[in-house]
Amino acid sequence: MFKTLSVFDGKNDLDVLVLGMYEEAGLHSEVEKIDKDLHNQISKLKKSKKAAFGERTILYPMDRVKAEAIYVVGLGKQEDSTTESIREALASASQQLRKDKARKVAFLVESFVSESVDKKDAAVLIGEALALGTYTVLDYKEKTNEVDVSIEEVLLYGEEEDLQQAAQVGYTYGQGTNLARKLVNTPGNLMTPTDLADEAVTLAKKHEFEFEILERNEMEKLGMGALLAVAAGSDEPPKMIVLKYTGNPHSDERIGLVGKGLTFDSGGISIKPRENMHQMKMDMGGAAAVLGAMDIIGSVKPNVNVLAVIPSSENLLNGSALKPGDVITSLSGKTIEVRNTDAEGRLILADGMTYAKQLGATSLIDVATLTGAVLIALGDCTTGAVTNNEELMEDVLEASVETGEWIWRLPNYAPYKKMLKTSDVADLNNAPGRLAGSITAGLFIGEFAGDTPWVHLDIAGTAWQSKASNLGPLGGTGAMARTLAQVVINKEG
């Protein structure tokens, strides 16, 4: 799909040529040549403030340049540019490419370069933005027979030979994110635990992962009482999904990625308000992020060992459903008093964490749409984190900076941990109250990590966007898929 050429020579017939333009910096030499062929149209755009960030102008060269159209993308002030801003600008251009049904496109890579974004970075961002910006949510409306046209070839004009590879890496990260988005956006009746398990098996076969899908009877034999208790209110059978990637058979280290796979959450007996309950198809965003990360890992193939564990169920209500006041026994042997059946994610993750440890995970990262409280604390742009290990937390934070997915660490002080022990009848209370709700929810999961290095990521705010943006449409964002993959890839020795 990607091909690198050293300079723009005008010999390739293109549907669209994309170039960046900063407000105060001079035009890049390649852009100057094109500007001359266009009778200074680009220079005139610059003078008319069309280089401001967010501006996008389409020029039609009328055979003066061998492209049907030229997109001039405003990048703002060069000193203010970041990977996040360039990614967003490129994603906006990618949305236009899809709208215009472009098949063969080219980018002047160096026109997007700044002090904080080098040519290789720009190529990665081009690949990533092409995937993210052209993603659309599948709908189920009656349609015409019109065939959707997709980009077939992307030319990268720049002197470095590895730009093609860099762009492909970015595209791979974007496609992994899009897989997570697709899973989150699928309606709950079409994305049951069984469907989620089938998606995981398809992914495993694509990348030749080892896989295991535990059924209800196997969970009963093992004693997965927490997952089974949540699943009791639904006619859909629960699944414990396991994928294993062995990139370094000589190492005993194995990173465990544990994702909450709650494919629909009504709240159970502690039922949620009706408003926006339809969005609760997204409560398996953690599982989606893990599968998206595994898709990236399977494509990049780092020499690292990874274990993905996804406990999956629905949280509904029938005559067998879990009730407030029930006491359940988890796979670890710890007992839990259920004060709130809508605090179910931490219950299924309890067994997921324990099972990951039993299968050999030497470090653990769990990711879950866990609490509404994280939205109050951090809004919808930042993921909350809790940890028991400084080194692993730093690895996750470093990866998040590289991918542009913001994370804020929450405290894990002793008083918060004591709040979990406020049951008179069980080892743990699954819902000790509104105070510090995101922290206590995370630390509840941490009880099942024990001494194993662990980081918890609460994506309840970041897994879903309520309005479209340059990076994607309304719905699932695929949050943390890229960061989880980056943590793994950074572990390469």
Q: Which residues are catalytic?
A: 272, 346
Token digits for 389? Answer: 């290990």
Query: CA 284, CA 261: separation in Å to the nearest integer?
Result: 4
Query: Does the annotation place 220 within a ligand binding site?
Result: no
Report whether 283 belongs to an annotated binding site: yes
Q: Which two tokens stand for residue 276?
A: 């926006």
- CA distance from start to end of the chain: 30
344 annotated as belonging to a binding site for a ligand: yes
Strand, coil or helix: what is 22? coil
Judge whether 366 is annotated as a binding position.
no
Q: Is 260 annotated as a binding residue?
A: yes
Instruction: Count the neighbouring beta carbons within 10 Å of the beta carbon of residue 210.
Output: 11
Name the nearest CA neighbour of 179 among 291, 310, 284, 283. Answer: 291
C-alpha span between 328 and 49 (Å, rounded): 64
Is residue 443 within 8 A of residue 431, CB to CB? The reply is: no
Closest Cα partner for 140 from 183, 187, 101? Answer: 187
Nearest to 82 by CA among 309, 318, 402: 402
Cα distances from 266 to residues 183, 273, 431, in angstroms, run 18, 9, 17
CA dist 462 → 44, 240, 361 (Å): 40, 25, 26
Binding residues: 260, 265, 283, 342, 344
- List the binding residues for Mn(2+): 260, 265, 283, 342, 344
